Structure 1
Amino acid sequence: MRKARSCRKQASGADPWPAPTCMSSTLPGEEAYVIDHGGALLDAMAAHGGTAEDWLDLSTGISPVSFPLPEFSADSWRRLPDPSHARHVADLARSHYGAAVMPVITSGSQAAIQHLPMLARLLERGAREVAILSPTYGEYEAAFGRAGFAVRTVSSLAEARDADAVVLANPNNPDGRMFAPDELAVFASARGNRLTVVDEAFADCHPEISAADRAGAIPGLLVLRSFGKFFGLAGVRLGFAFAAEPLSRALSEALGPWPVSGPALEIAAFAFSSDDRLARQRAEIERCHAMTAWAIADASSTVLGQTALFFLLDAGNGAAMRDALARHRILARAFDHSPRRLRLGLVASGEEAERLAGALKAIRAAVVRS
């Protein structure tokens, strides 16, 4: 098994940033895979002070504007989730995402990612190598590495063609790279009965790139969708997986009964049932994106890539820029795999945009003076 990427150690001397909160999952004797995710606000507060209200958290690609919540029924809390309600939500999700098949409801797309190695071996019993279009979300490598797969990081579909399993994000996190759905359909079809995973966690504002309508017709294609990012409700932990049999059946069985809560189902039903509310959410994200773009441009920062929910910057030294922003109580995301890069989520207001622009300009001025 490949050795895990370690969480960043606390630097001696000047850098007071503590080791980040990391996620890991291992059995005794296994090599730990630890991933530094965004959103570690408590760690940032411990290192740099302040309260949550003092901080501007731009470390995730989650909408800063949350979708309105419904009035929950008492039964959603008191009773187990109703299977008929789950089927209704699955049908709403199928329509919302433009899919041809009913999805498996998951506790976020991460719940499905944990089972990808099992699905790869279901389709091809001797599967032992996965190609991951990189750099990207680290949990793909962690899931396959824990299962004993050889992990090959690649930069193009052509390099991945012969792998037992292929995983890519569309659009990609963190650089925003996108593939056309026709290109992905041809690629997945040519691979026959081998697993091809397309994670569309950030695709809600880019519907033209979705391959959800191809899932079901291509045996090895699995398309993942995340609910929380677009709706600004990541804490709900809700996602959907679209695939043909036997993938969908195997994933559903692996997740077991009641994979999500009753309140989560009510939120999804409410969210998927109003075109007006959905249009307002898209407009809010576009507004936040425009304000963030202004702040970045005003500070003369270089954008390397973007989606509707985040920007990737050339920071020169991503970790140093992250720490400098933290001293302004702005939380951003740096990457071990791409040391020059820094990812910023969206601001929610003009005041936050001015704060971000001011911090970026102050940091740039300090670098020039030094």
Structure 2
Amino acid sequence: MIEKRDHGGGIDAAIVAHGGDRAGWLDLSTGINPVPYPMPALPHDAWTALPDEAAFARLYALARRFWNVPDDAAILGAAGASAIIAALPRVIPTGEVCIPGPTYNEHGAAFAAAGWHLGQDPSHALVAVHPNNPDGHIWQVSDLDAAYTIIDESFCDIIPDQSLIHLAARPGTVVLKSFGKFWGLAGLRLGFAIGDPVIIAKLRDLLGPWQVSGPALAIGAEALSDPAWADETRIRLADDTTRIDRLMTQTGAALVGGTSLFRLYQVDDATALQTRLARGHVWSRTFPYAPDWLRLGLPAPDRWAQLEAAL
């Protein structure tokens, strides 16, 4: 039996333990933008027809422009960045991979499942979550010189000036992008692999045709063609980050790090604080390897009072 990996979420279990219903719970256990990109009107054939090459080409052209993708880098969409994470170890020559942590644990699980050795030597393969989850660490180009380098930028759209997308033109390099975080559309299941055309071609063969749904293609294209929404969202998230930091430090928590989509705090007893918040139907994230770490996402604009009351 495969051991279940530790993630945010788990509202169903929280409801069983502490009552209430899903609508009444404030889920701050994930780093998802609480004000998602507004749903555009979708053409009828987005639901009824198989996704065609024109829809993929439009999405990729907009992605290339939005992220300033190098001309020599290839792009592939998939049903969420997690699908790419699971597939990547199977299209890169097997060896030892270095995944500095603590970090998002799906990377290590995917490489282990594909028969890789998880070690400390970064010369063959390196996974860099940029910025890192959960502490927000920013990677430098000088640290990324492995033969095969995976740069997970699932949270990087909040700081586009720090993106390492220009490295996507290097042989052996793949940059990951996610629509679930910054755009707040986790249920859409849309992610991108951008990088070495040889690796991207192997990914395409492994994932098969129609790997992105028609609605996801249409919504993703609309979002990527709306840079004004992205700019306004970054300003709001930065303001809300300041607000939650002030609120938490007033309770005695110390800021460890994070991004403007999630904040990581050091507290006396994270499990006890999680339980206290849960009594007010606010769900947070704890970490089995750090009993004094608590991570919080940002509340929606009309839900701050619930967090304040729970604290």
Same fold by TM-score greater than 0.5: yes
Q: What one-letter code is carried by the residue in structure 2 that aligns with 1:51?
A: D
Which of 38, 42, 46 is residue 16 of structure 2 equivalent to? 46
Aligned length: 309
Which of 181, 206, 216 is residue 229 of structure 1 equivalent to? 181
Q: What one-letter code is carried by the residue in structure 1 that aligns with 2:223?
A: A
Residues 1:359 and 2:310 aligned together: yes
Q: Which residue of structure 1 aligns with residue 111 of structure 2?
A: 144
Provide the C-alpha distance between the structure 2 equivalents of 1:316 and 1:87, rounded to a whole number of angstroms.
51
SS at match of 2:118: strand
Q: Which residue of structure 2 aligns with residue 133 of structure 1?
A: 100
Q: Is the 8 A contact 1:298 1:357 kept in 2?
A: no
- Identity score, percent: 38
Q: How does 1:1-370 map to 2 (within 5 A)?
A: 32-100=2-70, 101-121=73-93, 127-152=94-119, 160-162=121-123, 164-180=124-140, 182-184=141-143, 187-188=144-145, 191=146, 194-216=147-169, 218-349=170-301, 352-360=303-311
Q: What one-letter code is carried by the residue in structure 1 that aligns with 2:42?
A: F
Q: Deviations over 1:266-314 (max 9, x none)?
A: 1011111123222232233233323322321332321100201000011
Shift of 1:80: 0.5
Q: Which residue of structure 2 aligns with residue 11 of structure 1?
A: none
Shift of 1:220: 1.2
Per the normalisation by structure 2, the TM-score is: 0.94
Shift of 1:136: 0.5
Q: Is the 8 A contact 2:179 2:185 kept in 1?
A: yes
Provide the C-alpha distance between the structure 2 equivalents of 1:295 and 1:42, rounded to a whole number of angstroms.
27
Q: Which has the higher contact order (CA 8 A, sep 6+)?
A: 2
Per the normalisation by structure 1, the TM-score is: 0.79
Q: Is the 8 A contact 1:334 1:341 kept in 2?
A: yes
SS at match of 2:69: coil
Shift of 1:119: 2.4
Q: Is the 8 A contact 2:66 2:227 kept in 1?
A: no
Provide the C-alpha distance between the structure 2 equivalents of 1:353 and 1:134, rounded to a whole number of angstroms.
31
Q: Which residue of structure 2 aligns with residue 7 of structure 1?
A: none
Which structure: larger Rg?
1
Q: Which runs of 5+ in 2 are unaligned?
A: none
Q: What one-letter code is carried by the residue in structure 1 that aligns with 2:156?
A: A
Q: Which residue of structure 2 aligns with residue 16 of structure 1?
A: none
Provide the C-alpha distance between the structure 1 equivalents of 2:30 and 2:17, rounded to a whole number of angstroms.
19
